[in-house]
Structure 1
Amino acid sequence: MLWVEGPLSYVEQLCVQSFLDAGHEVTLYHYGPVTRVPDGAAVVHGDAILKRDEFIQHGRTGSLALFSDVFRYHLLAQSDRTIWADTDAYCVKPFRTETGHYYGWESNKHINGGVLGLPKDSPALAGLLEMTRDEYGIPEWFEDGEKTKLQKLADAGTPVHCSEMQWGVWGPHAVTHYLHKTGEDKYALPIEVLYPIGFKNRRHMVKAARLASAESCLTDATTSIHLYGRRIRRFLSSRPGGMPDKGGLIEKLLRKHGIDPHAAPIPDHVAAAEAAE
């Protein structure tokens, strides 16, 4: 996992603790001071994986998800028996893979990399690493018209930086493309395994009245729940005290893992909590 800097809120604490309680060894990488990390997680400076003088931020949102994308690809290329997990991925049960591949469909169109395991010799991983070396590169899966437009801008000396491209360009869109290209999409797990509660229903995890709806999405095959950190933090911060409903799924999980949300609140200035996803 990666949390660039700053205190963890109860959302990230819950996710880190869920992996620890499932029996996984957890390493949380960081670049600046980080606090409120659950006991048992190793805290390691990100320079151990990728040295950076500057962090790539999305132009519209300011999110560091682009840098997080690059970091996870380098992490997997340098590590054995390792699976990447976003700090908004909740572990339902231990992750297991015989092949080193561990990722799943988020929709009928996209494989998400919020949980991502790839063997070091994966052709898709090689493609992702090569693509992210050029921050002004034109993604090969773009439509011809868009590629032509971007090439003209590049030829005119005004290339478009990846931070100004569509959301997820180095994340789910790239992961999906390269896994399709290399045939490694055959290892992708069904939606119910890693992304059972979709983005449009994310608020169901907060509301007590939606507990049954949220839990109905979970099956015996489910190993993770994606909490959609940036968006769920924003929603939680708009509620009284920044708290989820008592009796809602998130509150239920907080109680299960002994996380006190009052001890690690969502910051008033939510952007301060958006160090990584």
Structure 2
Amino acid sequence: MSELHEIAMLWVEGPLSYVEQLCVQSFLDAGHAVTLYHYKPVFNVPEGATLVHGDVVLKRDEFIQHGRTNSLALFSDVFRYHLLNQSDRVIWADTDAYCVKPFVTGTGHYFGWESGKHINGGVLGLPKDSPALAGLLEMCGDEYGIPEWYSDEMRDKLRLQAENGVPLHVSELPWGVWGPHAVTHYLQKSGEDRHAFSREVLYPVPFQKRRRLVKSGRRSAAEAYLSEATTSIHLYGRRIREFLASRPDGLPDAGGLIDHLLEKHRIDPRAAPIPVRRAQAEAVAQ
């Protein structure tokens, strides 16, 4: 049995595209056991991944969705915190996290800076006794709570609004409020941010340069951002799917990084295409 931590992921329903297939397969090929949680039927799941219904972690009648985009990212945030609180030797990974090399941790902490301001939770390992994890779980218990990291002026404004009978639901707050913003705050509050990796480890390709993951050519090469320290590459799921859907046959450039990785892991992109209609809808929602 592998001594590596198990990798946990969530795909609520529907087919995986070749982008998600690639990420799941990358962890399997690195030697990790992978559990893909879901709530409705899913398809195109790489052989070797274990499918588990999400109810074993968190029963929900309704999914929390972002008010502007209808994204399920808020629910995914809540789900991962509950999962980590219930699990031993598990690291969370979003389905757009590609594994470059095995994830190894002696403390249970596994996360990194995405920018100069935020630690991202797209890859997140926290021990069950983590004070930051406890803070995140407490936060998620109140969907109308006022983030404690907001300025006094903003907190007073939201408090007054609540007192007047119109509290603001988390789905109406800015994108990432229960994700990177909260993760960064609680890790810094507990001092666990000392475990955070530098950007090159988990998020080497900047968001602004994400299209270089798809394109080929010297000026577009995403490989320039990688280093020996890199263990994961964030593929910016919905954004990269939207870009891929706009291209001929929904495919990356031959010779580009994603094309190279698909070949490496024997993923046939034509067998699990990008759902063009969904990708376009996501683009409009942004």
If the TM-score is normalised by the length of the shorter chain, which range does it land in? over 0.9
What TM-score do you get using the length of structure 1 for normalisation? 0.97
Contact 1:267 1:273 in 2 (8 A): no
Q: Which residue of 2 aligns with 1:171?
A: 179
Q: Find the aligned partners of 1:202 and 1:128 in 2 and give their Cα distance.
A: 29
* 8 Å CA contact 1:204, 1:210 repeated in 2: no
| 8 Å Cα contact 2:26-2:100 kept in structure 1 | yes
Map of 2:42 onto structure 1? 34
Alignment length, in residue pairs? 274
Task: Quote the Cα distance in structure 1 between the aligned partners of 2:54 and 2:73.
Answer: 15
CA deviation profile, 1:212-265 (whole Å, cap 9, x unmatched): 631011111100000000100111111111111111100110000000000000
Is the Cα contact below 8 Å between 2:221 and 2:257 reproduced in 1? no
Distance in structure 2 (CA, Å) of the matches to 1:187 and 1:32: 35
Uncovered stretches (5+) of structure 2, i.e. residues with no partner: 1-8
SS at match of 1:14: helix
* 1:260 matches 2:256: no
1:40 Cα offset (Å): 0.1
Partner of 2:96: 88
- 2:227 alignment partner, one of 208, 219, 222: 219
SS at 1:269 equivalent = helix
Q: 2:256 aligns with which of 248, 271, 274?
A: 248
Unaligned runs of 5+ in 1: none
Q: Distance in 1 between matches of 2:39 and 2:95?
A: 15
What percent identity do the matched residue pairs reach?
74
1:58 aligns with 2:77: no
Q: CA RMSD in A?
A: 1.3
1:43 counterpart = 2:51: yes
Distance in 2, matches of 1:151 and 1:159, equals 8
CA distance in 1, matches of 2:131, 2:195: 13
Q: CA deviation at 1:2?
A: 0.1
Check the 8 A contact 2:84/2:90 in 1, yes or no: yes
Q: Give 1:271 shift.
A: 4.9
TM-score (norm 2): 0.94
Q: Are 1:122 and 2:125 matched, yes or no?
A: no
Q: Which residue of 2 aligns with 1:15?
A: 23
The residue type equivalent to 2:181 in the other structure is H
Tell me which of the two structures has the higher relative contact order, counting C-alpha pairs closer than 8 angstroms and 6 or more residues apart: 1
Given the alignment of the two structures, is residue 270 of structure 1 paired with residue 278 of structure 2, yes or no?
A: yes
